Structure 1
Amino acid sequence: MGLSLTVLGCATPYPAVDNPCSGYLVSHQGTRVWMDAGTGTLGPLQLHTRLEDLDAIWISHLHADHSADLLTAYYALLFADVERDPVPLFGPPGIADRLAAFLTNGPQRSPVESAFEITELHDDHQATVGTLRLTTKAVHHGIPAFGVRIEADDASLTYSGDTAPCQSLVELARDTDVLLCEAESAERTPDMAHHTPEDAGDTATGANAGRLIVTHVGRFLTAQEAVARASSRYRGPVEYAAPGTTFSTP
């Protein structure tokens, strides 16, 4: 049985009226991982799974459009109708203190560890969550940032997070069934920290990915433009991560 990828949102750097920021649900059999928790993604997540049934959360980096809904998830987990043990949370170094600093509004530090069982990521981090195997590699985004390869049985899905083109992402995605790759930048700049659509195509080609899904498309590009430009550099199938869409690996 293959992996299932549901797009909760992919807007950047703020939500659109019909598109939350970056967030995805990866599932396989009974295992469910919320991958990035960008602004507005907690709502559509609940169309597909309850917080009680979530097995883990994985966060690529701490920019708000990839992590802000951890704050609302914290309130749901501790102060509402959700009853469960702390959710395993994989995220960049310093994620616990970052959350606590935002949530604390008094003399006592907010108990983020009561809501989340936190593991800090590092390059080549390995984890098993239910039926899923997660391999994390550092990527290039100007701050601590990571991509992840998720595998189950013989299926694989690789997610870029936010990153400039880099060899570590190509290596992480080598022969992956599906590459979910950001394509925010409309044009290449000397200090860029993102892919252009052409870069996403090059990364997919270099990795010999079986399929490319472009996501996190910037405000100065349309989805159609991003797909067409990525297709000019990659001969496999290219699709856009439209919110609400579910993709499956072979």
Structure 2
Amino acid sequence: MTNDPLRFTVLGCATPYASVGNPCSGYLVSGGGARVWVDAGSGTLGELQRHVGLDGLDAIWISHLHADHSADLLTAYYGALYADIELAAPIPLYGPPGIADRLAHFLTNTDTRSPIESAFAVEELHDGHRVRVGALTLTSRAVKHGMPAFALRVESADRSLVYSGDTAPCPALTSLAEGCDVLLCEAESDRSPAEGERVHHTPEDAGDTARSAGAGRLVVTHVGRFLTPQQAVARASTRFDGPVDHAAPGVTFPVE
């Protein structure tokens, strides 16, 4: 269906480990007939299969290599090569520099390197990376998380979704999100650290980023365990006048 609208389904949003009924970070972004698994946190592969199998994906995109955003790539590898599906070609995988070697280190159990490239056609992200996946354009920007990390803008013909990944507030994210229809933004931190490098948004930060970018709608995700989703939404709403929702697991959000 090349004319289906842009939307995303929350596969999970828990941090830093899965909860009952809520895997770690992962989203299925779809539109124009294309389907992209965005972040593959632990537990998300099972939820993904409610909607599409590995052999039905057009691409996988990974924001950074913390386990709560990437661990299910390990089981996806086995599923792609050694289970009940047959891939016509390796799945395009866009991720931070070093992602293929990181996977191989986990998966290789002999002197022979596991054939990562047989399952995934790996392309490393860089600041400003842009790729076309079916009818969707994916643009990545490097963001501030104390390690190589990226945010993502997904554009269809007339809609745009921006996903923060994990990051402190930074100009790159605000620029990427400028004028987007929906900003899916993490709100992991309860407060700014007294000292040291910031690596996450607070709910207030998420509201500030949405306001500064002129986003149409804010969806807070990756909410820390010391906050309820309702508290995160309420606090983000003090800084952003537009609609604010929580990325509840299992919910599909239209980008409109």
**Amino acid of the residue matched to residue 87 of structure 1?**
I
Q: Is 1:221 aligned to 2:221, yes or no?
A: no
| Matched letter for residue 128 of structure 2 | D
**In 2, Cα distance between the equivalents of 1:2 and 1:168?**
27
CA deviation digits over 1:7-53, x for unaligned, max 9? Answer: 00000000001100000000013110000000000001000111111
Q: Equivalent residue for 1:44? A: 47
Rounded to whole Å, the distance in 1 between the matches of 2:78 and 2:39 is 17
Alignment map for 1:102-121 (pairs within 5 Å):
102-121=106-125
Alpha-carbon displacement from aligned partner over 1:128-159 (angstroms, at most 9, x marks no partner):
00010001000000000000100001100000
- Letter aligned with residue 107 of structure 1: D
Tell me which residue corresponds to 1:170: 174
Pick from 187, 198, 208 the counterpart of residue 202 of structure 1.
208
Q: CA deviation at 1:113?
A: 0.4
Which residue number in structure 2 is paired with residue 67 of structure 1? 70
Residue 158 of structure 1 is matched in structure 2 by: 162
Aligned partner of 2:29 in structure 1 is 26
One-letter code aligned to 2:243: P
CA distance in 2, matches of 1:67, 1:73: 10
- Which runs of structure 2 are paired with 1:86-165 in the superposition (5 Å)? 86-165=90-169
CA distance in 1 between partners of 2:53 and 2:104 (Å): 24
> Pairwise CA RMSD of aligned residues?
0.6
Cα displacement string for residues 105-145 of structure 1 (whole angstroms, at most 9, x for unaligned residues): 11100000000000000000010000100010000000000
Superposed CA offset, 1:176-235 (max 9, x none): 000000000001113220000000000000000000000000010000000000000000
TM-score calculated relative to the size of structure 1? 0.99
CA distance, structure 1, for counterparts of residue 65 and residue 208 of structure 2: 26
Q: Secondary structure at the match of 2:126?
A: coil
SS at match of 1:205: helix
* Whole-angstrom CA distance in 2 between matches of 1:116 and 1:178: 29
Say whether 1:184 aligns with 2:191.
Answer: no
2:20 pairs with 1:14 = no
Answer yes or no: is the 8 Å Cα contact 2:32–2:136 preserved in 1.
Answer: no
**Structure 1 position 2, deviation (Å):** 2.9
Identify the residue that residue 235 of structure 1 maps to in structure 2: 241
Distance (Å, rounded) in 2 between the aligned partners of 1:185 and 1:24 = 21
The AA in structure 1 aligned to 2:21 is: D
1:37-72 deviations in Å (ceiling 9; x for gaps)? 000000010001111110000000000000000000
- Percent identical pairs in the alignment equals 68
User: For 1:212, which of 209, 218, 226 is the aligned residue?
Assistant: 218
- SS of aligned partner of 2:11: strand
TM-score (norm 2): 0.97
Structure 1, unaligned runs of 5 or more: none
Amino acid at match of 1:80: A
What is the alpha-carbon distance in structure 2 between the residues aligned to residue 29 and residue 49 of structure 1? 15
C-alpha separation in 2, matches of 1:79 and 1:18:
27
The 2-side partners of 1:74 and 1:158 are apart by 27
Query: Given the alignment, which residue of 73, 76, 81 partners 1:78?
Result: 81
| 8 Å contact from structure 2 (residues 32, 156) kept in 1 | no
List structure 1 runs of 4+ shifted beyond 4 angstroms.
Answer: none
Asked if structure 1 preserves the Cα contact closer than 8 Å seen for 2:163 and 2:183, the reply is: yes
